[in-house]
Amino acid sequence: MATPETVYAKSGRYHIAYQVFGNGPFDLVMIPGFMSHLEMWWEQPITARGLRRLASFARVIIFDKRGTGMSDRVNDAELPTPEERMDDVRAVMDAASSERAAILGWSEGGWMASLFAATYPARVRALVLHATYPRAVQDESFPEGWIPHTRMNEYVEETERAWTQGAPEWGPMPATEDMVAVRRWQVRMWRRAASPNAAVALARMDLATDIRSVLPSIHVPTLVMVRAGDENLPASRYMAEHIPGARFRVFPGDEHGLLFGDQDATLGEVEEFLTGVRTSPEANRVLSTVLFTDIVGSTSRAAELGDRRWKDLLDDHDSLVADRLALHRGKRVNSIGLGDGLLATFDGPARAIRCAQAICQGMRTLGLDVRAGVHTGEVEMRNDDLSGLAVHIGARVSALAGAGEVLVSGSVPPLVAGSGITFEDRGEHELKGVPGRWRLFAVAG
């Protein structure tokens, strides 16, 4: 599915950015958490996959809240009231020709979704809340809050540091192997979504919000979800207990964001709640050979050449790679951002090795050295996405290769017997994040 177009709805004098995608039989309006940036959701393969999963059973409408992302900015001293926030939801639904929709809100977006469901029940077919809370502040009257009253000022200061310094330890994030790139992406999204002063002002507004009295007035079918290790578990349980008839589900893990962690579990639950049926996510598990390459010493070379010449050189790199892939029947995986590197798949390891050799040789004519890693294993393919342990192994093998070298995992040599390709044993290695020890081989010649 292509990245949807961003369009605008008019709410009062403000323009609210939104996107519509999917062709399901009902509408699903998504209200994001603290910060969002519509077009950056699609730059991150993990979040893009989650959005596509939702679009497989609903017509999805997602927007950037007033003052954030691609929507109009507001005066930090005149932040939108809850009523104005609800006006924005109505404006987006009207612009998207949505008379009635399921409303899905997560984290800070949950109280906005709850208010809308209580106020406009005729326009809400169901309500889904993930890792949300009726009140953020914890005190004697509300021990379920996630931020102690004594830490409110400290939290606001942490928010400012996260914007001005990109503090990597700030904010709930998944603790999985490949989350360094996700962390960088999230920090970029925060900064594009709001200025430091706006982030601080929105944090103060969130701390001042309390919708506990509204919960008993929600009379639409409601699902409340949270992960067991999320700091909002007590508050989410409180919401489920005080919304009449709400269903409460706790999932393993400690990831806060709706689109992180085990998506198949959480989004499958959303699908079953809204449709009565849980379908298996479309997947194609196949045996495939993955090839990773990257330019050796790219940072120092870029600094040496300057931005303009380095960009021209990368264009030549990409052209050469495309030519070699076409010759050897390889398919580039574009959904995974590798900067100056390559991830490609092949239906046979011999073609992957010969392609890697051709790329290494061709790059020397450009004055570049590349390293390459090849591994054959089972991968999961969804549209343009590629995942599975085989992808991680291929990346780790590539990282251990020397300049101009093609390194392969132990699964490859037995599969190219008779091809004329020979190998040099490089011994056993530990591959970061991959169980066990792996024997590696360098392609000779």
* pLDDT per residue as tens digits for the range 162-195: 788 765 445 444 444 455 667 778 888 888 998 8
> Where does 335-441 have alpha helices with state H?
349-365, 389-400
Residue 176: per-residue pLDDT: 45
Residue 349: per-residue pLDDT: 86
Residue 44: per-residue pLDDT: 85
The two three-digit tokens of residue 407, written as one number: 């390194």
What value, to the nearest 5°, has the Cα angle with vertex 271 and ends 26 and 382?
Answer: 100
pLDDT along the chain (445 residues), means of 10: 88 95 95 92 88 95 94 81 87 97 95 91 95 92 89 85 67 50 80 88 85 91 95 95 96 88 91 84 69 86 82 86 90 64 86 92 89 87 73 90 92 83 92 85 90
Which amino acid would we find at residue 171?
Answer: G
Residue 312: per-residue pLDDT: 85
Round the CA-based radius of gyration of the chain to a whole number and report it: 25
Sign of the Cα pseudo-torsion (186, 188, 190, 193, in order): negative
Q: Which of 246, 215, 233, 258 lies closest to 41 in space, CA to CA?
A: 258
Q: SS3 for 90-139, per residue?
A: HHHHHHCCCCCEEEEEECCHHHHHHHHHHHCHHHEEEEEEECCCCECEEE
Which amino acid would we find at residue 322?
Answer: A
- For residue 326, what is the enclosing H or E element? helix 307-327
- Taking the CA atoms of residue 56, residue 61, residue 65 and residue 68 in that order, the dihedral angle to the nearest 10 degrees is 60
Residue 207: per-residue pLDDT: 85
Name the 3-class secondary structure at 340: coil
- DSSP class of residue 72 equals P
Q: Measured between alpha carbons, how far is 293 from 340 in angstroms, rounded to an integer? A: 9
End-to-end CA distance of the chain: 42
* pLDDT per residue as tens digits for the range 204-239: 888 888 889 889 989 999 999 999 999 999 999 999
Q: Measured between alpha carbons, how far is 238 from 240 in angstroms, rounded to an integer? A: 5
Contact status, residue 337 vs residue 384, Cβ threshold 8 Å = no
- DSSP class of residue 431 equals -
Contact status, residue 258 vs residue 41, Cβ threshold 8 Å = no
Q: Measured between alpha carbons, how far is 94 from 80 in angstroms, rounded to an integer? A: 19
- For residue 284, what is the enclosing H or E element? strand 284-295
Contact status, residue 112 vs residue 84, Cβ threshold 8 Å = no
Residue 34: per-residue pLDDT: 87
Q: Measured between alpha carbons, how far is 204 from 398 in angstroms, rounded to an integer? A: 46
pTM of the predicted model as reported, rounded to 2 decimal places = 0.66
Task: Give residue 141's Cα distance to chain centre.
Answer: 36
* pLDDT per residue as tens digits for the range 83-96: 888 899 999 999 99
* pLDDT per residue as tens digits for the range 315-338: 888 889 889 999 998 888 864 445
Alpha carbon separation from 129 to 65, 264, 368, 400 (Å, rounded): 17, 17, 51, 44
For residues 130-161, one letter each, b for 16 or more C-beta atoms within 10 angstroms of the residue's C-beta and e for the rest, the string is bbbbbbbbbeeebebbbbeeeebeebbeebee
Q: What is the DSSP string of 212-246?
A: GGGGGG--S-EEEEEETT-TTHHHHHHHHHHSTT-
